[in-house]
Each structure stands twice: as C-alpha cells, then as structure tokens.
Structure 1
Amino acid sequence: MGSDKLRLPLGPMNLGNYALAAALRSRLDYVWVIVNDVAAAWMDHTFYRDPIKRKWSVIHCPESRLGQAHSLRCGVQAALSMEATALMIVLADQPLITNEMINELLLCFQTHQMNGNIGFAASRYDGLARPPVIFAHRMFSDLLRLQCDQGARHLIRKEKSGICIDFANPDLFMDVDTAEDYRALLGKTTFWKS
C-alpha cells in the first residue's frame, strides 16, 4: 500500500497517527518521525501544538523508498546526533500499539541495562519478536550496516544478550500492509469510538 496507507482514515485521525500518539504519550525522551516526504501529510495538526511539539521532530529521508534499512539508518543517525544511549523502533503502520506497551518495554530495558549490558528489549507475540523494539547504543553500528529492505529482525535473532517481553494480545501487533489488513482494522470499531 506504500506510504499513503498512513493517510487512511481511522476514526478521528489518519492511520499513521495512532502509533505516533502512543509514542508521544509514553515516557520516551524524544521521538523522531522518519518520513520520505517533507510534508508528512498524514500527521494530525494537534501534534504541532505546545507542549507536545517540543517532544518530536520530522526527519526527511528520501531514500526510505528504497527500503526500510534506509529509514532505520536515518533514525540511528538522529539518535547519535543527540547522544542517545538507546533507541526504540516503532512502526507507524501498527496503530494498536499503546503507550503502556512502550512504557513496559522501556522499564524492562532500563532495569536489565542497570544489571548488565543487554543489546535489545523486544516485544513478542506467539514466540516471534516484533516491533516495538529498543536497541542499546552498542547495537547502533549494526543497525547502520543494514541494507535495502532489511529490517532489524535478523539482529534480534543473532544477538544473544537481548530480552523479549511477551504480550498476549495479537491486536497490538496488527500491521497494515494490504487493503485486507485495513478492512480488518476498521472492523475493530470499539477502539476508534472510545
């Protein structure tokens, strides 16, 4: 469906805004929105108001059309520029992600980071690690080496010092990649009406 899927109507906002809203309501220190166009026309105007507008910024990454590794590298470079000790990858096409889920991952990562040197903390459903996922600073160089449409999944599989948190609700991981996915998402009307 391409990046236009983030503009699909979903209740009071466009689809891409829900994961962003969850990230902005969470305890994340700062949020970068990686976009392939300058305007990010899917973004809700309320995010541009104080005080929330101070918690995020847009990074234009025209190469993102060439594959997700390009978007990941843009995000890692932004994290490096702010001397971040870790970064979390959240996908805008997963609108049912919640700020509670993000906060649980943050707390788990911070707790384990104090007790040792972990590489990542990932959410997991049905035995499979999925975004959102937090990567420690020491993993940034591995993320920067990703190519084309390569995501971070293989890093999670090979890194032995990571942890996964199991979430029982499959809806949290609903990913809108097709028109059928979007129709299924629209069927979950209780979320959009609350």
Structure 2
Amino acid sequence: MTPIVILAAGSSSRMGTPKQNLYIGRHTLLQRMVQAATAASDSVLVILGANFDALAATINDTNAGILYNKDWALGMGSSIKLAVSHIQLKHTNTDTIVFMVCDQPYVNAELLKKLIITAGKVKEEIIACSYNGIMGVPVVFKKRYFSELLTLNGKEGAKKILEQHMEDVYTVPFPLGSVDIDTEEDYNNLPAGLNL
C-alpha cells in the first residue's frame, strides 16, 4: 500500500480566495485531486489548515482521510511532517509515500499510478515528475527519506531534499505539471477543454 498525501493547507494568499474550492467543470480542484488519488490508492490523506471547515465539507463523502494542520501558517514543511508522522504511526509497514498538491489541474489517476508502479521497479529512492526543466510534485519518497522529511521547517517543501539527493532521483515526464493555479489569471487562462 502506498499512501497518497494531498497537501492543501495553504490560505491561497495570492489568489485571494481558497483555490482548493475553485471549480473546474463540475468539481472543485480539491475534489478532482481527491478523485484522482482515491482511484490510484486505497490510502489517501488530505492535509488541510486554512479554511478547514469549508474545505473538509466538500470531501467528507469520499474515502480520503482528513488531517488538520494547526501550524499551516508556518508553511508546507509542517504539513509534510504531520503527514509522515501520522502515516508512520497508523501504517507502520509503509515504505513509500506520494506527495501531491491540489493546484496542478492536469494530475490524474494514471499519472499517480505510474509513479507508484515506477517506484516499485527502480532502484532510486525518490521518483519525481519533471516539467519545464525542473523536478517536482507529484513525488514519491521511499522509506529511506522519511526521517529527512520530518526535519523540514516552515516554508521548506520537499524540493530541498530532491536537490540534496539528485543522484537518487528518478524522473517521470509530466509536461503539463508546469500548469498550476496560483492567481486569478492562472485560473482564467485554463483551457476550456479542461472543464470535465
């Protein structure tokens, strides 16, 4: 079993409204990501913080677990630490974790399954998506790096660990990973074909 963690605790300060609740077609960004994750894994954990009640209410009828990060304002590192601690406590046999965010609208179940399958085949301990010449989320970390994930602070995301261990990273091409939604302009520029 490979848990998938959806990091969705931020306040969307650049957007001015919770981007997790922006609609693309019939579903919100957060709902779309939960649907993709639950189709790829039997274990999905959503980390929420800002706007907890409003966001949790939109996914209460799914199979995803929900955790509240009281330290969400400190940054993504606090959500990653919370997720790893929870998984190690509740699922002691876990040896891989997928981390994803909720503002990459092109992430789907097929991509998440590919990452999980790839992790089981390659010797590298980190499997990251590659787009626009960078490596990023969604990303799989094997057990060797759980302790390092627990040392992240504040706004540090897992990218710091990728950069420190480039020799141990296997990449999966995901060109559309470069499309994310941080501002109202980003949202308004999404192609109509994405409205599924």
TM range (shorter): 0.7 to 0.9
**2-side partners of 1:180 and 1:122: how far apart?**
27
Over the matched positions of the two proteins, sequence identity in percent amounts to: 24
**Number of aligned residues:** 178
Equivalent runs, 1:62-141 vs 2, <5 Å: 62-81=70-89, 82-83=91-92, 84-112=94-122, 116=123, 118-141=124-147
Once residues 17 and 161 of structure 1 are traced to their aligned partners in structure 2, the CA distance between those partners, rounded to angstroms, is 32
Is 2:193 aligned against 1:190? yes
Q: Which residue is equivalent to 2:181?
A: 176
Rounded Cα–Cα distance in structure 1 between residues aligned with 2:26 and 2:178: 21
* Segments ≥4 residues shifted beyond 2 Å: 37-45
Contiguous gaps of at least 5 residues in structure 1: none
More helix as a share of residues: 1
**For 1:29, which of 42, 65, 71 is the aligned residue?**
42
Task: Determine if the alignment matches structure 1 residue 20 to structure 2 residue 34.
Answer: yes
RMSD: 1.9
Q: 2:44–2:65: 8 Å Cα contact kept in structure 1? A: yes
Matched, 1:148 2:154: yes
For structure 2, list consecutive stretches of 5 or more residues without a partner in the other structure.
Answer: 1-11
C-alpha distance in 2 between matches for 1:131 and 1:103: 14
SS at structure 2 position matched to 1:176 = coil
